Structure formats: structure tokens, C-alpha cells
Amino acid sequence: MSFQAYLDAVEEKTGKTPRALVDEANELGFGAETKAGPILQWLADAYGLGRGHGMAMVHVITKGPGIGTKHLESTGSHRDESDTLWLDGAASKPADWGGARP
């Protein structure tokens, strides 16, 4: 599963876009300096997210939408189309999106 697919699944599970969850996390005081544990606990308690989906959200909450290029060149199931994750919801993602808008 690609990193982006994890975020799309988070949206399906929570009914909120990743950006809305980042905004909510920031309102709760979570940010770049927050350890994963408290964020994972909040996501589990509030939304029933497991560790894998929670860790995808931990990344965007603490580091933003940029990801490394490790899987951009691969052909496997972990391949991402861009080094920037789409946070505004799967339905709003243009079909030809390749990372132009974070």
C-alpha cells in the first residue's frame, strides 16, 4: 500500500480529510515536537485508527505532506506518484495529480 493510499483509507475510516485531521491535531496542541504515542492514542480513541494508519497521520502532523523519494522510482505496491501527499481528500484529487499542490 502506498503512503497516499494509507491517507485515503484514513479518510474513509474517519470521514475527515487528512488536512482536517492535521488541523484538529494542531488545535489539540499536537505538532512537530509531539511524540508519536500521544497522537496515536488520540487517533485510536477518537477515530478507532490502528497503528499503521495512525503512523501515516503522525508523519503529516509532525513533518508535513512531504515524503522521501524512496518509493517514487519503484514499481511495487508501495509506489507513490509524488513526493508530496494529497491532504485535501480523495474526491478532490485531480486524476492527473502528481504532487503539484500539497
Domain contains 97:
no
How many residues make up the chain in this entry? 102
Name the average pLDDT for the chain: 90
Domain contains 36:
yes
| CA 102 – CA 99 distance, rounded (Å) | 7
Domain contains 51:
yes
65 versus 94: the higher-pLDDT residue is 65
Domain contains 72:
no
Q: What is residue 2's predicted lDDT score, i.e. its pLDDT?
A: 87
Domain contains 11:
yes
Q: What is the mean pLDDT of residues 27-48?
A: 98
Determine the residue type at 9.
A
Q: Kindly report the CA angle at 13 between 53 and 39, in degrees rounded to 5?
A: 45
Structural contact between residues 37 and 101, judged by C-beta atoms closer than 8 angstroms: no
Check whether 98 has a pLDDT greater than 70: no
> How many structural domains does the chain have?
1
Beta bridge partners of 66: 84
43 sits in which H/E element: helix 36-47
Check whether 71 has a pLDDT greater than 70: no
Q: Which residue has the cell 512531504?
A: 66
Domain contains 88:
no
96 versus 84: the higher-pLDDT residue is 84
- Of 27, 32, 14, give the one whose Cα is nearest residue 89: 14
49-70: pLDDT as tens digits = 999 999 999 999 999 999 877 7
What is the domain extent for residue 58?
1-66
Domain contains 81:
no
Q: Which residue has the cell 515524503?
A: 67
Q: What is residue 102's predicted lDDT score, i.e. its pLDDT?
A: 41
Domain contains 78:
no
Check whether 20 has a pLDDT greater than 90: yes
